[in-house]
Amino acid sequence: MTTIEHIEQILAQIAVRLDQSILTTEAFKEQIAASQEIADRRAAELDRRMAEVSEAADRRTAEALEDSRRLKKRLDEVGKQLGGIGNKFGSFTEGLFLPSVEAMLRKKFGVTDFYMRLKTKRRKELQELDGFGFVNGGKNIGFIVEVKRHLDNRSIEQTLSQLQRFGRFHPHFKGMKLHGIIAAVDTVSESQRKAVYNAGLYLVTVKNDVASMPKPPKDFTPCTEIA
């Protein structure tokens, strides 16, 4: 083989290798392009799914807020209904209890006049008494009755306050001697009974659906407020 032929053979081999290298590069580019397309499709799919998840979360949040609003509205309605039931129960209890108290006051103290749920307004102040009875004539004695479902120290303080405020709302009873009576609906313990008597208040209790006025202890001194 001549030198020229040998050189031509080498050049031919180089050309073949170059062609193979070009083909390999093109294939690599195509492979990269295909991989990028797959990556783009996956990214787009991920974005779509994330958008769906976000939309679903927003929808659930809105539904939860709406459910919370409806629940609050319902609870408010139930609260008002329960409050109304409580007020009706209180009026119902007083309506059953006070006639018995009135009968006892007429028999025991000679009360001639009795009023249930007496409301009096002076300027911007209002006084509400569950019951008020008085004796006409020379005795000039009045009895303020407060019906309490749950007897406690606050009940005693409220009744004493009613005695003290009475004169401001009823000046036409000026000079009247006022006494307080707590009519307890629930069972009264011995300590509660003592607290009422120590405050100078009379006590009316209920047993077996019958109202009665227990005899105060010997050392009992009725609280007397002058109107």
pLDDT of residue 12: 64
Give dist(CA 120, CA 107) in Å, integer: 27
194-222 residue pLDDT tens: 999 999 999 998 776 677 888 899 999 99
Cross-strand bridge partners of residue 7: none
| pLDDT tier for residue 71 given thresholds of 50, 70 and 90 | low
pTM (whole model) above 0.85: no
Residue 154's pLDDT band (boundaries 50, 70, 90)? very high
What is the β-pairing status of strands 125-135 and 113-122?
antiparallel
The string of pLDDT tens digits covering residues 11-20 is 666 655 655 6
Residue 208 pLDDT:
65
Dist CA 207 CA 210 (whole Å): 5
Q: What is the mean pLDDT of the chain?
A: 78
Domains plus CATH for the chain? 97-226 (3.40.1350.10)
**52 or 87, which is more confident:** 52
Q: How far is CA 167 from CA 54, 147, 163, 177, 192, in A?
A: 69, 20, 8, 10, 28
% of the chain exceeding 90 in pLDDT: 37
pLDDT confidence band for 181 (50 / 70 / 90): very high
pLDDT at 90 over 50: no
pLDDT band at 227 (very low <50, low <70, confident <90, very high): confident
